């Protein structure tokens, strides 16, 4: 009764019908969130709305409840009164489930339509009748062109995550869909950011929209004290090993690792599975059945890690998520806020980890300006720290085993071994077996710590010559004596003469591929971790380039550049030997 009174005093003030208040009470909702409190009265009154709110603020209910307000539950074969457009299949399913939950007492029928599912099944569902259609833009347009999606009765169109749909290239599809819907419809746009393209859509398709902006509170922006944010400064070729080691130390209950590309997702998933994790990949190259299977494993707890691209993970909500990892620093600060906003919800603590290459420090600074919080750099755990942590976990494993029943079953083994070995030797052997079964023993290489000033790093490890300032200062990055001549040669102050022994690399890209000397310096320095100053003469020809590098670093550079690209192009890189 107390909860019902709370709902009535909160949501009832927003003008919602009795059936919806009853459903909200049954779901345990007490007070509307700020976006719900601001948006719902305007939407119930039939006004167009342009709303800005971050992920996790409750905006699904902010438009779903006003949609359900429009329903006539007595229709046997209803026609759609609302069309909700979302960027991804996962978000389509999530919104559809929310509409069903809120509209249960109204017998609301909602059909999600998206790519990757047989279109015939969707056509059958639409023919049986529904009140609400939740769709990805491409599949909605398919149904419109086939005349299988009725639009005559559409009273409200909602664009959820409008900025994301534009970023994914759906601008023309959205325009075509909006043009096909009734002119007198109510048009609602929700977006986490408000780029000029959103304003352009609002001007073309909305009538005097109410603007609602919910400022990011600390919890919404991911800067809540409940979310611990840290960053690690790591050369690119050490990132996978560093991530594995950090996860070993952190031991997350469940984590999402965000990558930029599908290829990176697949490669990192394979690496982490090889390390002993139960990792699952999720990206746009997977069909719906694969995606559903992956998410089933994650939600059931049979997978520890979800390795995903931003687009594929859009709209996912994992209750037991404890860690979010940015394998690359997001180029847009808002993306960082969205990502780490997935942890630290509902009073739960969470951890946000970012792996930054030296060249990405400026992007981190942009994120700090947006969130108004410093993201501290931490040192990548050493091999010794990892082994100490593994010993702690083995100790906990043994404690748990000793606290369980069923040990009597193994007494015969103990008695037989006791005739040959001491009890202490038997115990140590058992601990060793448990340790090796649970812990990875593959981590033996120290990872350079770039979080400290260079002079401190040089004293600790003379092999680590990478200068963080190289990435931020153009003059230091390319050296003071660099000057291109008319033959395409890039002079670098004669580094190879009288200094350390230099070697030459052949790079199978040249001027015709748009390659410049500074592109080669940046790619080699970023991928291998050597300083730009250590790179010698460069000659760029039409079809290929020759680069001088320190002889001691050749193997490291070749290994680091094996899967790298230069200006978006894969390069064949090998040792070059002058043919005379």
Report the C-alpha gap between 295 and 526 in whole angstroms.
34
| Structure token pair of residue 248 | 């070993």
Report the C-alpha gap between 367 and 167 in whole angstroms.
19
Closest of 178, 151, 172 to residue 85, by C-alpha: 178
Report the C-alpha gap between 64 and 98 in whole angstroms.
8
Please indicate whether residue 493 or residue 566 has the higher confidence score (pLDDT): 566
Q: How many CB atoms lie within 10 A of CB 382?
A: 14
Is 342:330 a contact under the CB 8 Å cutoff? no
Q: Is the pLDDT of residue 564 over 80?
A: no
| Structure token pair of residue 220 | 């919404």
Residue whose structure tokens are 């599908």: 262
Beta-carbon-side half-sphere exposure of residue 270 (alpha carbons within 13 Å)? 6
The three-state secondary structure class of 159 is strand
Same fold, 2-213 and 463-575: no
Is 129:106 a contact under the CB 8 Å cutoff? no
- Of 91-100, 113-122, 307-316, 517-526, the one with minimum mean pLDDT is 307-316
Q: Is the pLDDT of residue 480 over 50?
A: no
> Taking phi first (over 0 means left), then psi (-120 to 50 degrees means alpha), and beta for anything else, what does residue 147 get?
left
Q: What is the average per-residue pLDDT within 129-138?
A: 94
- Of 183-187, 436-440, 536-540, 563-567, the one with minimum mean pLDDT is 436-440
Report the C-alpha gap between 408 and 24 in whole angstroms.
53
Task: Write the pLDDT tens digit of every residue in 225-251.
Answer: 578 899 999 888 888 888 988 988 888
Q: What is the average per-residue pLDDT within 192-215?
A: 89
pLDDT range class, residue 56, cuts 50, 70, 90: low
| Structure token pair of residue 464 | 């680590």
Report the C-alpha gap between 382 and 5 in whole angstroms.
56
Q: How many CB atoms lie within 10 A of CB 377?
A: 17
Read off the pTM.
Answer: 0.49
The three-state secondary structure class of 507 is strand
pLDDT range class, residue 430, cuts 50, 70, 90: confident
Report the C-alpha gap between 379 and 390 in whole angstroms.
18
pLDDT range class, residue 130, cuts 50, 70, 90: very high
Enter the CATH code of domain 227-380. 3.40.50.300
Report the C-alpha gap between 359 and 319 in whole angstroms.
34
- Residue 154 to residues 13, 68, 80, Cα–Cα distance (Å): 27, 13, 6
Is 60:86 a contact under the CB 8 Å cutoff? no
Give the total residue count for the chain: 580
Report the C-alpha gap between 426 and 411 in whole angstroms.
12
Which CATH superfamily is 2-213 part of?
Answer: P-loop containing nucleotide triphosphate hydrolases (3.40.50.300)
| 523 CA to centre of own chain | 24
Q: Which residues pair with 255 in a beta bridge?
A: 305, 323
The three-state secondary structure class of 544 is coil
Closest of 42, 59, 34 to residue 159, by C-alpha: 59
Closest of 385, 267, 273 to residue 327, by C-alpha: 267
Going by their DSSP bridges, the two strands 350-356 and 279-282 should be labelled as: unpaired
Fold (CATH) for 463-575 = Alpha-Beta Plaits (3.30.70)
Q: Is the pLDDT of residue 406 over 70?
A: yes
Is 323:353 a contact under the CB 8 Å cutoff? yes
Q: How many CB atoms lie within 10 A of CB 273?
A: 15
Q: Is the pLDDT of residue 9 over 70?
A: no
| Structure token pair of residue 576 | 């070059």
List, as one string, the DSSP characters of 163-203.
Answer: HHHHHTT-HHHHHHHHHHS-TT-EEEEEESS--HHHHHHHH
List, as one string, the DSSP characters of 229-291.
Answer: EEEEE--GGGHHHHHHHHHHHH--SSEEEEESSHHHHHHHHHHHHHTT--EEEE-TTS-HHHH
Q: Which helix (H) or strand (E) holds 308?
A: strand 305-309
DSSP letter for 103, please.
T
**Taking the domains of the chain in order of start, what are their residue ranges?**
2-213, 227-380, 384-438, 463-575
| Structure token pair of residue 353 | 């980890």
User: Rounded to 5, what percent of the chain is helix, strand, coil?
Assistant: 45, 15, 40
Report the C-alpha gap between 51 and 54 in whole angstroms.
10
Please indicate whether residue 523 or residue 480 has the higher confidence score (pLDDT): 523
- Of 84-98, 310-324, 419-433, 445-459, the one with minimum mean pLDDT is 445-459
Closest of 15, 140, 163, 162 to residue 80, by C-alpha: 140
Q: Is the pLDDT of residue 426 over 90?
A: no
Q: Which helix (H) or strand (E) holds 141?
A: helix 137-145
Report the C-alpha gap between 372 and 220 in whole angstroms.
13
**What's the pLDDT score for residue 346?**
53
The three-state secondary structure class of 122 is helix
**What's the pLDDT score for residue 2?**
40
């Amino acid at each position: 009764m107390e909860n019902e009174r709370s709902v009535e005093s909160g949501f009832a003030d927003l003008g919602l019908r009795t059936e919806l208040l009853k459903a909200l009470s049954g779901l345990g909702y007490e007070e509307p969130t700020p976006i719900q409190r601001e948006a719902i009265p305007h939407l119930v009154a039939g006004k167009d709305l342009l709303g800005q709110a971050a992920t996790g603020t409750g905006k699904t209910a902010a438009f779903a409840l006003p949609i359900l307000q429009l329903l006539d539950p007595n229709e046997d074969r209803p026609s759609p009164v609302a069309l909700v457009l979302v960027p991804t299949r996962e978000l389509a399913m999530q919104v559809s489930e929310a509409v069903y939950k809120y509209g249960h007492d109204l017998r609301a029928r909602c059909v999600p339509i998206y790519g990757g599912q047989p279109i015939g099944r969707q056509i059958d569902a639409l023919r049986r009748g529904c009140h609400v259609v939740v769709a990805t833009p491409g599949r909605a347009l398919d149904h419109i062109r086939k005349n299988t999606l009725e639009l005559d009765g559409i009273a409200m169109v909602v664009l959820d995550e409008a900025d994301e749909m534009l970023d994914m290239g759906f601008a023309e599809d959205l325009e075509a869909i909006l043009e096909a819907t009734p002119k007198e419809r109510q048009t609602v746009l929700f977006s986490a950011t408000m780029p000029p393209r959103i304003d352009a859509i609002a001007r073309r398709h909305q009538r005097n929209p109410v603007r609602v902006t919910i400022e990011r509170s600390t919890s919404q922006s991911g800067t809540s004290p409940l979310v611990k944010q840290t960053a690690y400064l790591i050369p690119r070729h050490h990132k996978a090993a560093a991530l594995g080691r950090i996860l070993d130390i952190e031991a997350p209950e469940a984590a999402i690792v965000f990558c930029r590309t599908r290829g990176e997702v697949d490669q990192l998933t394979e690496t982490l599975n090889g390390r002993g994790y139960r990792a699952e990949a999720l990206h746009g190259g997977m069909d719906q059945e694969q995606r559903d299977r992956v998410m089933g494993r994650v939600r059931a707890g049979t997978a520890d890690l979800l390795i995903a691209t931003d687009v594929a993970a859009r709209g996912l909500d994992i209750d037991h998520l404890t860690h979010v990892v940015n394998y690359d620093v997001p180029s847009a600060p808002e993306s960082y806020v969205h990502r780490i906003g997935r942890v630290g919800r509902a009073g739960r603590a969470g951890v946000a980890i970012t792996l930054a290459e030296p060249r990405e420090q400026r992007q981190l600074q942009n994120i700090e300006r947006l969130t108004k919080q410093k993201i501290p750099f931490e040192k990548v755990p050493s091999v010794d720290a990892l082994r100490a942590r593994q010993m702690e976990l083995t100790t906990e494993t043994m404690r748990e085993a000793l606290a369980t029943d069923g040990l009597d079953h193994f007494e015969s083994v103990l008695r037989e071994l006791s005739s040959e070995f001491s009890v202490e030797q038997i115990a140590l052997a058992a601990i060793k077996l448990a340790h090796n079964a649970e812990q990875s023993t593959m981590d033996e290489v120290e990872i350079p710590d770039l979080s400290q000033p260079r002079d401190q790093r040089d004293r600790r490890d003379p092999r680590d010559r990478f200068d963080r300032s190289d990435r931020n200062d153009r003059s230091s990055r390319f050296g003071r004596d660099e000057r291109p001549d008319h033959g395409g040669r890039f002079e670098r102050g004669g580094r190879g003469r009288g200094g350390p022994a230099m070697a030459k690399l052949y790079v199978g890209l040249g001027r015709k591929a748009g390659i410049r000397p500074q592109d080669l310096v940046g790619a080699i320095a970023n991928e291998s971790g050597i300083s730009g100053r250590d790179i010698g003469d460069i000659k760029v020809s039409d079809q290929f380039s020759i680069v001088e590098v320190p002889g001691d670093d050749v193997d490291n550079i070749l290994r680091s550049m094996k899967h790298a690209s230069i200006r978006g192009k894969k390069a064949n890189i090998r040792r070059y030997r002058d043919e005379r």
